[in-house]
Amino acid sequence: MRLSELTKAPLAITAAAGVCDLSQGTYFTLQVNGGGAMFIVNAPPDVMMFDVEVNHIGGVLTYPSNVRWVGGIAPQNLQAGKIHCMSFRRPQSTGADQWIGSYLPNC
């Protein structure tokens, strides 16, 4: 594999209806306008991390219950008109379908 192939950004997949289908890829874009929910589906055993870029137009975004957030607090007070970058990692130690979420708000 060439270095140029290793440094290319992953193809962003639109998370239609808030669904992050991990069998399709690991980088998603999600537009929130008037509220919505995010879902994580079809996670292959070898997918340990994925990212979501949220374009927040307005409303509230809710998250799956199997996400534990760094600091114990899910993203709050996300400003409309901003991009929010979220990363999710599957912990090896639990053996369960859990994710640890972190985020960079209001970019």
What digits encode the pLDDT tens for the residues 19-54?
A: 999 999 999 999 988 888 999 999 998 899 999 999
Average pLDDT over the chain reads: 86
Q: pTM for the whole thing?
A: 0.85
> Hey, what long-range contacts does 44-51 have (CB within 8 A, 24 or more apart)?
47/22, 47/90, 48/89, 48/90, 48/92, 49/87, 49/88, 49/89, 49/90, 50/20, 50/22, 50/25, 50/26, 50/87, 50/88, 51/26, 51/27, 51/85, 51/86, 51/87, 51/88
Please give the distance of CA 4 from its chain centroid, rounded to a whole number.
25
Classify residue 38 as left (phi > 0), alpha (psi -120 to 50) or beta.
Answer: beta
